[in-house]
């Protein structure tokens, strides 16, 4: 029977025995797992934990600054690195989903490695790997490995030569949340929807430009804030908006417009392996659709995704 308190005590002892007085670097993503891992390590080794939070330019609107503020507020020794321009210029003109993922993975490692090198004598790399990631990285040797290269378990470059610390590797997601709660991490952070590592890049179908990122951030923010305001956010497992690579005709005053279409997606799921679309209230969808079209320049049509997984996936890329 799992008790967060006992787990925290044991793992802190274990971390201290393993790491001793050495320095540890950890990449924060803004997600639940890396945050809980960081807070645990901070409790165990304090300032010897060096956190790095990278802005890849593909996060939600205002997310980089607001999450960075929260991390600092939590007392973490964290450095925010805004590498947006570097990611977006490497992604320019790229349309293929897997190529996008590979570029983002590679640039992340380059940026992270630059930062790690600035920490003198760092010996360990901590990661927020949880049990399902461990299982998946073992079992994805088969065909599913090529479906989507999701996780980067064990995906460290050799040249970093760091030893690994993974305090959450025996835990399931709900246990991670319970540990987080017992560590005093706020419910808003612990209740955040999953968000893919490649961020908005795989919700902009086709090539990515700064303008498309801006449009999608605005749309996504209206949708997500709307879910929160209407008490729907916690009833949904994951939600987001997708920018489609087509224009459609609309009308504004007595002018015809020819602008972008966005899709909204909200799903129920337990682990992301299967998912059902959420029957959001029509009134809510109407309100959000109007708000998006009225406020976001460049969008004249909103559609709602009513596909389940399988056979569709949660993300469109």
Residue 309 binds to ligand XMP (criterion: CB under 6 A):
yes
Confirm whether residue 54 is marked as ligand binding.
Answer: no
Of the listed pieces 47-55, 158-166, 192-200, 284-292, which binds ligand XMP according to CB under 6 A?
192-200
Contact pattern for ligand XMP over residues 266 through 305, marking x by CB under 6 A: ------x---------------------------------
Report whether 144 belongs to an annotated binding site: no
Does 313 participate in binding ligand XMP (rule CB under 6 A)?
yes
69 labeled binding residue: no
User: Is 31 labeled as ligand-binding?
Assistant: yes
Scan residues 211-270 and list those touching ligand XMP (CB under 6 A): 238
Residue of 148, 181, 230, 287 interacting with ligand XMP (CB under 6 A): 148
* DSSP string computed for the chain: ---HHHHHHHHHHHHHHHHTT-EEEEEE-SSHHHHHHHHHHHHHHGGGEEEEEEE-S-SSTTHHHHHHHHHHHTT--EEEEE-HHHHHHHHTT---HHHHHHHHHHHHHHHHHHHHHTSTTEEEEE----HHHHHHHHHTTSGGGGT-----TT---GGG-PEEE-TTTT--HHHHHHHHHHTT--HHHHTPPP--TTGGGGGB-S---HHHHHHHHHHHHHHHHHHHHTT-GGG-SEEEEEEEEEEEEEEETTEEEEEEEEEEEEEE-SSSSSBEE----HHHHHHHHHHHHHHSTTEEEEEE----BTTS-SS--
CB of 275 to ligand XMP, least distance (A): 7
Shortest Cβ 170–ligand XMP spacing (Å): 20
Closest CB 103 distance from ligand XMP, rounded Å: 12
Residues 101, 178, 260, 301: which binds ligand XMP (CB under 6 A)? Answer: 101
196 is an interface residue for ligand XMP by CB under 6 A:
yes
Closest CB to ligand XMP among 43 and 309?
309
315 binds ligand XMP (CB under 6 A): yes
> Which residues here bind ligand XMP, judged by CB under 6 A?
101, 148, 150, 194, 196-198, 238, 272, 309, 313-315
Q: Which residues are annotated as a binding site?
A: 29-35
């Amino acid at each position: 029977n799992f008790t967060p308190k006992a787990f925290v005590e044991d793992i802190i002892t274990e971390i201290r025995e393993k790491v001793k007085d050495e320095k540890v670097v950890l990449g924060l993503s803004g997600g639940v797992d890396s945050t809980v891992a960081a807070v645990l390590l901070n409790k165990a080794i304090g300032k010897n934990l060096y956190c790095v939070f990278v802005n890849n330019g593909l996060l939600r609107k205002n997310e980089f600054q607001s999450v960075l503020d929260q991390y600092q507020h939590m007392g973490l020794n964290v450095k925010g690195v805004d590498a947006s321009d570097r990611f977006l210029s490497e992604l320019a003109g790229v349309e293929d989903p897997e190529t996008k993922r590979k570029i983002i993975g590679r640039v992340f490692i380059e940026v992270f490695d630059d930062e790690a090198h600035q920490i003198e004598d760092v010996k360990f790399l901590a990661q927020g790997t949880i049990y399902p990631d461990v299982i998946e990285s073992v079992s994805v040797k088969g065909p599913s490995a090529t479906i989507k290269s999701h996780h980067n378990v064990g995906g460290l470059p050799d040249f970093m030569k760091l030893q690994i610390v993974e305090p959450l590797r025996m835990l399931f997601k709900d246990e991670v949340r319970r540990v987080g709660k017992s560590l005093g991490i706020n419910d808003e952070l612990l209740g955040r929807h999953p968000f893919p590592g490649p961020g908005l890049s795989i919700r902009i179908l086709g090539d990515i430009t700064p303008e498309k990122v801006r449009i999608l951030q605005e749309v996504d923010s209206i949708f997500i804030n709307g879910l929160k305001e209407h008490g729907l956010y916690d009833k949904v497992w994951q939600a987001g908006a997708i920018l489609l690579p087509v224009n459609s005709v609309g009308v504004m005053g007595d002018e015809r417009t020819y602008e972008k279409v966005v899709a909204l997606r909200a799903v129920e799921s337990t682990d992301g392996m299967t998912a059902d679309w959420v029957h959001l209230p029509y009134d809510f969808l109407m309100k959000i659709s109007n708000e998006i079209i009225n406020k976001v320049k460049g969008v004249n049509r909103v559609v709602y995704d009513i596909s389940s997984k399988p056979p569709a996936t949660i993300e469109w890329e």
